[in-house]
Structure 1
Amino acid sequence: LTCAPFADLPSDSTMGNAPLVCLSNGHKMPLIGLGTWQSDKEEEHVKVLEEAVNMGYRLFDTAASYGNEEIIGRVMHNFYAKGTMSRCEFFITTKIWPTYLHPDRQMAAFKESLAKLDTPYVDLLLAHQPTCYELDGVTHDPSVTVEMIWQGLEKIYETGLVKAIGVSNWSVEQMERVMKIAKVKIHVAQVECHVYLPQLELVEYCKKNKIVVTGYGSLGSPARKVPFLGRTPNFADSPNMFEEPAVVAVAQKYGKKPQQVIISKKYQLQVLIRYLLDRGICVIPKSSNLERLKTNLHGVVDFHLDESDIERLNNVPHRQRLFMQEHMAGHPEDSFASER
């Protein structure tokens, strides 16, 4: 296994079964984790989390708005209580929703997440969006800039209750503005990233500034068309990434074995994840299917794509953002305004 760019780690350095990347402040983060959006049904989610830990997952990505921090905290605590795992063996990411991104409200919101997760610290805290809302969760607060949001996160970081801080769904321009005034540089940027939205400019900017990129929606998020926070976003239809000709062709190249001629969708899945990993991007695919959960982790760490294959996937002609975050429209800090 090789490490991502600017990681100062041995080539076999892992956490669980995932390779590690070293953040710019020295904190280590797995490059493969489990996304938990849409995972708020307790019985099912507990089983998936327990199986994921047993498979070697150590990074768990949640958010206050996902409604599952307490479930994650309870499962993690059970592993601590049994003595099979310690807190330092996990990497937990959570996010502050825009309703609480005003600098005066961030600390209380964070401490609520901390209590629900039943942990003395969080490994990574993200501003879920660059837009701040009033307490009704709907009305925009245009007075709060990304610079102000970041200064609030810096105050939380200074307490030592969080090991790293970052942003989610921010643009390059917004990150540039913050990096100019930051006392603590951005450690991680989480963005939608896949073959239909490769984020070439943003990834290049982050590499230059030693910001680790985490990509969500890496498999096309086929189950995204569901209600979220009481409303169903107007998600546009999109092609199936598993049937994208370039993805199929690359999967055939890496999936064929001497006794195997017919390719299964498993290899397209592995290629879609490996495509991001080979670009130094952390991936957090969500699944409640235990076989796919295993494939997402164990099936992507023993091969690499050639540069020519990465270039081919970089240039898939279809371009589409799957998550338009419509609630940001009209806010002065709407990071997708130019795409609307």
Structure 2
Amino acid sequence: MDSVTLRNGVKMPLLGFGVLRMKDPAACIRCVREAFESGYRMFDTAASYGNEEAVGRALRELIEEGKAKREDLFIITKLWIDDAGEEAAGKAFEESCRRLQTDYIDLYLIHQPYSDYYGAWRTMERLYREGRVRAVGVSNFSPERLTDLCLNSRIPPMVNQVELHPFYHQDGALRVMGELGVQPQAWAPLCEGLKKIFSNKVLEKIGGKHGKTAAQTALRWNVDRGVSVVTRSSVPAHMQEDYDIWDFTLSEAERQLIDQLDLGYSEILDYGNPCIARMFLKKR
């Protein structure tokens, strides 16, 4: 699998497996193990997902069975709004490590751009200096908030995980990330199945030329833009399908056709809408 080098020299895979909404522990463990067998080595979870413990158990089992080495895995988890703040973030990190059965995290992200994320960031900087995290970053930060944090921190974010797919390109945000040296990572790279992405005629036609599906074409499009992607499925065949994107690349003409699919707005979560902030902050 291809990887990208973050600003601090850490190599991060360009493709990872996410476990959002996998609430059932047994099902989550099964999916993580099957994803590993399909080739995935980067696993994305979060404190708010409620499944760090299941992810940790699955990865620990793979290590104890001799199938995996901890240093070959790339574990991502995220700090939730409830624990934003300098002291709370430190305690939350230790709890995440305990649940994940690891003494370090490869990439630790601030999950949402709300509450006292500056206090949380000071703790993340400390954890990075202490070697408890290999890389630190944020998620869902707008260009304005990302720029502000980068310019007012000793250790700037290395990754920003945001919504990116053929129907929502965020070219302006990617340009700002590039200027700041922040690696973009995509959640919902398949638009959570919305907009009939799996049967989109443009993606199907382009994919057909390469012997690939619409889903594989959409994932490859992001990877070709230098975006790391986190995909998700509970079906082994789909896990493998999403993983098998390394034997082709898109031409400039094909990328331009996909560029025309951009709606310019999100149909999943509009972070420019104050109602979204109220929704998340009410969940605390």
TM-score by length of 2: 0.91
Matched, 1:193 2:164: yes
Is 1:50 the counterpart of 2:25? The answer is no
Q: Aligned residue for 2:228?
A: 282
Preserved contact between residue 186 and residue 227 of structure 2 (Cα < 8 Å): yes
Paired with 2:32 and 2:197, the residues of 1 have a C-alpha distance of 26
| Alpha-carbon separation, structure 2, partners of 1:148 and 1:102 | 4
Q: Does structure 1 conserve the Cα–Cα contact (< 8 Å) formed by 2:269 and 2:276?
A: no
Tell which structure's C-alpha radius of gyration is larger: 1
Bigger fraction of residues in helix: 2
Does residue 218 of the first structure (1) align with residue 189 of the second (2)? Answer: yes
Match of 1:328 among 262, 277, 284: 277
| Change over 3 Å in CA distance of 1:153–1:306 after alignment to 2 | same
**Is 1:64–1:95's contact at 8 Å kept on the other side of the alignment?**
yes
Per the alignment, do residues 176 and 84 of structure 1 end up closer, same or farther by CA in structure 2, a change over 3 Å counting? Answer: same
Determine whether 1:272 maps to 2:221.
no
Deviation at 1:55, TM superposition (A): 1.9
| Residues in 2 aligned to 1:317 and 1:174: alpha-carbon distance in whole angstroms | 23
**Could you tell me which residue of structure 2 aligns to residue 89 of structure 1?**
72
C-alpha contact 2:219 2:242 (8 A) present in aligned 1: yes
Equivalence for 2:58 = 75
In the alignment, which residue of structure 1 is the partner of 2:94?
111
Report how far residue 159 of structure 1 moved: 2.2
Count of aligned residue pairs for this structure pair:
277
* Separation (CA, whole Å) in 1 of partners of 2:107 and 2:241: 25
| 1: CA distance, partners of 2:149 / 2:263 | 31
Describe how 1:130-279 pairs up with structure 2 within 5 A: 130-132=113-115, 144=116, 146-222=117-193, 239-255=195-211, 267-279=213-225
Aligned counterparts of 1:330 and 1:241: Cα–Cα separation in 2: 27
1:29 corresponding residue in structure 2: 12
2: CA distance, partners of 1:115 / 1:174: 31
Letter in 2 for 1:328: A
Post-superposition offset of 1:317: 4.9
Q: Is the CA contact (8 Å cut-off) linking 1:242 and 1:269 kept in structure 2?
A: yes
SS at match of 1:123: strand
Distance (Å, rounded) in 2 between the aligned partners of 1:208 and 1:304:
25
Maintained 8 Å contact 1:95/1:128: yes
Q: Give percent identity, aligned residues only.
A: 30
Residues 45 and 105 of structure 1: CA distance in aligned 2, closer, same or farther (over 3 Å): same
Deviation at 1:250, TM superposition (A): 1.9
The question of whether the paired residues in 1 share the 8 Å contact of 2:189 and 2:231 is answered with yes
Q: CA deviation at 1:180?
A: 1.0
Which residue in 2 is equivalent to 1:297?
A: 243
Quote the offset at 1:65 in angstroms.
0.5
- Alignment partners' CA distance in 2, 1:117 and 1:331: 25
Deviation sequence 1:283-319 (CA, Å, 0-9, x none): 1110010001001112x10000111222221221534
| Residues 58 and 317 of structure 1, relative CA distance in 2, 3 Å threshold | closer
Task: Give the equivalent residue in structure 2 for 1:38.
Answer: 21
Q: Identify the range of structure 1 (77-86 vs 190-199) with the bigger mean alpha-carbon deviation.
A: 77-86
- Asked whether the 8 Å contact 1:37–1:62 carries over to 2, the reply is yes
- The unaligned stretches of length 5 or more in structure 2 are none
**Contact 1:91/1:123 (<8 A) preserved:** yes
The CA distance in 2 between the partners of 1:317 and 1:101, in whole Å, is: 33
* SS of residue in 2 equivalent to 1:316: coil
Distance 1:194 1:211 in 2: 18
Question: Which secondary structure state, in structure 1, belongs to the residue aligned with residue 133 of structure 2?
Answer: coil
Q: Look up the SS of the partner of 2:90 in the other structure.
A: helix
CA distance in 1, matches of 2:36, 2:207: 28
> In the TM superposition, what is the alpha-carbon distance from 1:24 to its structure 2 partner?
0.9
Distance change (3 Å), C-alpha of 1:130 and 1:317: closer
The corresponding residue for 1:8 is none
**1:218/1:330 Cα in 2 relative to 1: closer, same or farther (>3 Å)?**
closer
TM-score by length of 1: 0.77
CA distance in 2, matches of 1:311, 1:242: 19
Gaps of 5+ in 1: 1-17, 133-143, 223-237, 256-265, 333-340
SS at match of 2:185: strand
